[in-house]
Amino acid sequence: MEGLEVSEASFSKLISVTETMRFDADYFHKAYLRDEKSVQSQAKSFQKFSDFDLAVDGSAFYPAIEEFYDSGNLPFLRVADVDSVIDFERCTTIPDELCTRFETLKKVQTGDIVLTKGGSVARIGLVTRRCGREPRFDLHKLIKTF
């Protein structure tokens, strides 16, 4: 059974230390668990978003807008479009006015960092049109350098 991986965790430990209450298998890959231990053992080397004066916002819940796909000029980023870089060439577009019509739709600006909520752990992309393929973020590699 090549490629099969098993992680074992007690339920009581899961609910006491996992703030996210995630129980999906992707969250418990051994590499991610090692990374988490590395971060915890060197906690002073890391900062939380709450340590910065940042605006954190999410648009995970928005109305069904598929009927507007490819009918505007505003790139609409979905999980599949974010994976260390943002693929502006393949992402769909929507009319700009939808963001004012539906308050749960949000706009991102050049320089914003996008973290996906679904799909996989730590899919991060830097929002930039001029060099959309230039910046590379691989959280797994960044953590291992400490």
* pLDDT value of position 56: 66
The neighbour count for residue 50, using CB atoms within 10 Å, is 8
SS3 content of the chain, % helix, strand, coil (to 5): 30, 10, 60
Q: Across the strands, what pairs with 75?
A: 93
| pLDDT tens-digit profile, the chain (146 residues) | 677 888 777 777 666 655 666 666 777 788 888 888 898 899 888 887 778 777 666 666 567 888 999 998 888 888 778 877 787 888 888 888 888 888 778 788 788 877 776 656 556 776 765 432 222 333 333 333 33
> Where are any strands of DSSP class E within 9-145?
74-76, 92-94, 113-115, 124-126
What is the C-alpha end-to-end distance of the chain, expressed in Å?
33
User: What residue type is 19 in one-letter code?
Assistant: E
pTM of the predicted model over 0.75? no
